[in-house]
Amino acid sequence: MKLFSSEAAHEYGSYTFAYANYCVREAGDMLADIYKAGFLPYSGARGIKDIFYMARSARVALADFEPTSENRRIAKKFDGTFTKKRIPFKDFEITEAFLVFCLNYFGSRHGAAVMPRERLETILASGIISTVIEYRKDDAVAAYVLEVGDETMAHFWFSFYDLSLTKQSLGLWLILDCMRDAKAQGLAHYYLGTVYGEKALYKTNFEPLEWWGGDGWSNNFELLKTYTRTDGEHSIAAADKWK
């Protein structure tokens, strides 16, 4: 695992100098070690592979995971609704229909600029996706999940689903369903991605939650809520030099 930093921003008056931290996955590196060190896979540029960025992220320790009352409420809405296939990525056929389904979801939900076709193709060519989970209802595709994982961990990287279900908390149920699978497989951790801004607080519906604070994993939930609710005060329009 090769580490490097890239200058991002500075405020000389207060002697504040910011650097973005990255790592490069090298031959023999375990994904679990990269995630444990606070890194997530980078997919922001065409052709990028094996680059990971450090950010405030969240994970659940699966040995102690039990559904909360909110988890159980969501489970009642969707359990038994879909048929599911967990397909090893090497066996998954990337069709035009699949690409269009994913792009339509992101375009309508987040804006086309967030997930252009080139970025989706970069993600699919990243070499780290382990599993595609396909959900169907009445023989029609309802959702896809792209999961990264190895023998000890998994990461809910991206999901794409039927737009008619976006206001019914299907996204939360997909995480819950995949997390239950991960626990049944005996994995140690399930990673949920970044936790920035109040819109990310839905990820705190899972317990026991840990979050990366730059130098280790913390279970200080109140501090995490404080950070996410004040992130807007610390946001700046800047890109680091590497980007």
Domain ranges of the chain: 57-230
Q: Cβ distance 62 to 183 under 8 Å?
A: yes
Q: What is the pLDDT of residues 20-30, one digit of tens each?
A: 999 999 999 99
Q: Which long-range contacts (CB under 8 A, 24 or more apart) does 84-90 make?
A: 84/133, 84/134, 84/135, 84/136, 84/177, 85/133, 85/134, 85/136, 86/131, 86/132, 86/133, 86/181, 87/131, 87/132, 87/133, 87/134, 88/130, 88/131, 89/129, 89/130, 89/131, 89/132
Tokens of 78: 């969707």
Cα 12 off chain centre by? 34
Tokens of 17: 């100098």
The residue among 112, 129, 117, 127 whose CA lies nearest residue 48 is 127
Tell me what percent of the residues of the chain surpass a pLDDT of 70. Answer: 100
What is the model's pLDDT at position 37? 98
CB within 8 Å of 74: residues ≥ 6 apart: 169, 172, 173, 176
* Beta pairing class for 153-161 and 189-194: parallel
d(CA 194, CA 191): 9
With a cut of 90, say whether residue 167 has pLDDT above it. Answer: no
d(CA 3, CA 158): 25
Q: What is the pLDDT of residues 58-107, one digit of tens each?
A: 999 999 999 999 999 999 999 999 999 999 999 999 999 999 999 999 99
Question: Worst-scoring range by mean pLDDT, 16-20, 80-84, 138-142, 166-170?
Answer: 166-170
What is the model's pLDDT at position 164? 84
What is the model's pLDDT at position 163? 84
Cα 175 off chain centre by? 10
d(CA 14, CA 240): 19
* Beta pairing class for 57-61 and 189-194: antiparallel
Q: Cβ distance 193 to 57 under 8 Å?
A: yes
- Superfamily for the 57-230 domain: Gcn5-related N-acetyltransferase (GNAT) (3.40.630.30)
pLDDT band at 234 (very low <50, low <70, confident <90, very high): confident
